[in-house]
A and B are shown apart, each in its own frame.
Chain A
């Protein structure tokens, strides 16, 4: 009996076409969108990036970190330090920041990997707080009150404001595309297969020769590197950094967890849906002040009760579709 096997489906092919069109549209955004929209799109991409990475960490590797703001802030501060004091081009330094993010995550990881489950979560948060307090001690970067990027550095990106904003926007778009592609490629690789096996059944995976802690550590370092790169771009967009903003658990972890859990944890589609919903809610409810946060809370509770696997989990379960073809199906 001969069968054809594919990971692709009609839905995923249509999605690929739509996604490519969207990418073209977004690449061209500096020519058709206003300044405010461009800023919003940029922010959207950066949040999408954070969500994809947290999803990889928590949804696939089972590492529920509430301390990813450590790497966001680390990346942001590193960018300011290098750009102000070593006079390097802020955009060209982003890959280096990713590497340094990976480097710092190794000792941090060795420390927090001694903890498990809820202790791991709290441990990562503690590390982020230590990072925040340390950043507040660096007087040449403004200490507790933070610092702004000097005009000369800002001008080194591009002379005109609109050019500069376009460059930072493209960098954010490029980085998020890179993150989505890396997640996708990683999950389809041998390591990704091992990661899926670990997620399904840790003990069985281990007794088949999969080194669980090494695989998880690899994911931790990878996400730390890319989170640091995102952090650099987040604060390059803001042009100002302070310890409280850089290592903010609400902005860089709580909202990201909301996005991933609501969208559908453990799926690549989930973070995209979640980020869309989060920005829709934020843009339409921002004027309501604290009511906005209360509504976010209600949405989170309702979705967790009605659809525990998130919006995407609900949709793919109901209609059996998959936009990122990871699992194989028989035709």
Chain B
């Protein structure tokens, strides 16, 4: 049963059209990756789902409900959380305050301050430091923790590993099954195709605002992906 699906999703920035009818489905407990070159429309898709970009209502379905026209805060309250590209932490708040902001949508569930600190133990000792004093990887953990604090049913990771050290990327991907295991689905934008296929169940490859290839990550053919990636 699909939790989230887009139906012919289009996206515009003013006169510029970035998405041309995308059909993407994410099921319960499923992790799905979006891959594609720069400008393929990955981030636009994420922003549209999160409500940061307004779409016609029917183009985004959440549990058979049309949500394309909802505001971002309304979308968040439905249980759709986003870890934005570049973390977007609140610089004048401490790590813990950043996490607490995530609980503003007041949904109940397993994720609380303690469970986030258990998932990322290294945040515990930094909990009262300004969020900007942390390393990039730790900041990404805060951003993930902040999204988890709303006890989402799906979590959107935009550029999950961009600009992070390989060891940190490994830590974050190690935590991923733990996040998805607790009844949360994941939609992940990842530059590293190998990582994307390794850690997700299914993938969609985008090129110039269209889905050019999709399938099970385990059976993905390297050659087909290269073709789809560059859009021939």
CB neighbours of B94 from chain A (8 A):
327-328
Whether B128 and A204, one on each chain, are in contact in the complex, defined by CB atoms closer than 8 angstroms, is: no
- Encode contact with A along B54-92: 1 for CB under 8 Å, 0 otherwise: 000000000000000001110111000110100011111
Query: Which listed residue, B52, B100, B106, B128, touches A207 by the CB 8 Å rule?
Result: B52
CB neighbours of A1 from chain B (8 A):
125
Query: Which listed residue, A194, A197, A204, A206, touches B71 by the CB 8 Å rule?
Result: A206
Whether A201 and B73, one on each chain, are in contact in the complex, defined by CB atoms closer than 8 angstroms, is: no
Question: In whole Å, how far is A87's beta carbon from the nearest beta carbon of chain B?
Answer: 48
Question: In whole Å, how far is B210's beta carbon from the nearest beta carbon of chain A?
Answer: 25
CB neighbours of A299 from chain B (8 A):
none
Whether A210 and B97, one on each chain, are in contact in the complex, defined by CB atoms closer than 8 angstroms, is: no
B102 beta carbon closer than 8 Å to chain A? yes
CB neighbours of B72 from chain A (8 A):
203, 206-207
Question: In whole Å, how far is B106's beta carbon from the nearest beta carbon of chain A?
Answer: 8
Q: Which interface residue of A190, A205, A208, A330 has the most chain B CB atoms within 10 A?
A: A208
Whether A328 and B128, one on each chain, are in contact in the complex, defined by CB atoms closer than 8 angstroms, is: yes
CB neighbours of A190 from chain B (8 A):
104
Query: Which listed residue, A5, A203, A209, touches B105 by the CB 8 Å rule?
Result: A209
Whether A210 and B92, one on each chain, are in contact in the complex, defined by CB atoms closer than 8 angstroms, is: no
CB neighbours of B137 from chain A (8 A):
none
Whether B91 and A200, one on each chain, are in contact in the complex, defined by CB atoms closer than 8 angstroms, is: yes
Q: Which of chain B's residues has its CB closest to A201's CB?
A: B88
Question: In whole Å, how far is A264's beta carbon from the nearest beta carbon of chain B?
Answer: 14
- Give Cα A193–Cα B102 distance, bound, in whole angstroms: 11
Whether B82 and A207, one on each chain, are in contact in the complex, defined by CB atoms closer than 8 angstroms, is: yes
A92 beta carbon closer than 8 Å to chain B? no
Whether A200 and B93, one on each chain, are in contact in the complex, defined by CB atoms closer than 8 angstroms, is: yes
Whether B90 and A197, one on each chain, are in contact in the complex, defined by CB atoms closer than 8 angstroms, is: yes
Whether A193 and B100, one on each chain, are in contact in the complex, defined by CB atoms closer than 8 angstroms, is: yes
Known: A210-B73, A211-B73. A204 touches B104 (CB 8 A): no
A157 beta carbon closer than 8 Å to chain B? no
A3 beta carbon closer than 8 Å to chain B? yes
Q: Which of chain B's residues has its CB closest to A330's CB?
A: B128
Whether B77 and A209, one on each chain, are in contact in the complex, defined by CB atoms closer than 8 angstroms, is: yes
CB neighbours of B125 from chain A (8 A):
1, 3
Whether A200 and B92, one on each chain, are in contact in the complex, defined by CB atoms closer than 8 angstroms, is: yes
Q: Which interface residue of B81, B92, B102, B106 has the most chain A CB atoms within 10 A?
A: B92
Query: Which listed residue, B71, B101, B128, B146, touches A193 by the CB 8 Å rule?
Result: B101
Question: In whole Å, how far is A265's beta carbon from the nearest beta carbon of chain B?
Answer: 14
Question: In whole Å, how far is B221's beta carbon from the nearest beta carbon of chain A?
Answer: 35
CB neighbours of B12 from chain A (8 A):
none
For residues 279 through 331 of chain A, which have their beta carbon under 8 Å from a beta carbon of chain B? 327-330
CB neighbours of A203 from chain B (8 A):
52, 72, 84, 88
Query: Which listed residue, A208, A212, A330, touches B101 by the CB 8 Å rule?
Result: A208
- Give Cα A211–Cα B211 distance, bound, in whole angstroms: 33
B195 beta carbon closer than 8 Å to chain A? no
Question: In whole Å, how far is B69's beta carbon from the nearest beta carbon of chain A?
Answer: 15
CB neighbours of B50 from chain A (8 A):
207
CB neighbours of A9 from chain B (8 A):
none
- Give Cα A208–Cα B146 distance, bound, in whole angstroms: 8
Q: Which of chain B's residues has its CB closest to A200's CB?
A: B90
B51 beta carbon closer than 8 Å to chain A? yes
B129 beta carbon closer than 8 Å to chain A? yes
A196 beta carbon closer than 8 Å to chain B? yes
Question: In whole Å, how far is B118's beta carbon from the nearest beta carbon of chain A?
Answer: 16
Whether B51 and A194, one on each chain, are in contact in the complex, defined by CB atoms closer than 8 angstroms, is: no
Whether B91 and A212, one on each chain, are in contact in the complex, defined by CB atoms closer than 8 angstroms, is: no
- Give Cα A328–Cα B128 distance, bound, in whole angstroms: 7
Question: In whole Å, how far is A45's beta carbon from the nearest beta carbon of chain B?
Answer: 29
Binding site for B on A (CB under 8 A): 1, 3, 5, 190, 193-194, 196-197, 199-201, 203-212, 327-330
29 contacts between A and B (CB under 8 A): A193-B93, A193-B97, A193-B100, A194-B101, A194-B104, A196-B90, A196-B93, A200-B90, A200-B92, A201-B88, A201-B89, A205-B90, A206-B73, A206-B76, A207-B52, A207-B75, A207-B84, A208-B73, A208-B104, A208-B105, A208-B147, A209-B77, A209-B106, A210-B101, A327-B92, A328-B94, A328-B97, A330-B128, A330-B129
Q: 4 nearest interchain CB pairs?
A: A209-B105, A209-B76, A204-B88, A200-B90
Binding site for A on B (CB under 8 A): 50-52, 71-73, 75-77, 81-82, 84, 88-94, 97, 100-102, 104-106, 125, 128-129, 146-147, 150
**What 4 new A-B contacts, CB under 8 Å, besides A197-B90, A208-B81, A208-B146?**
A190-B104, A206-B71, A210-B73, A212-B73
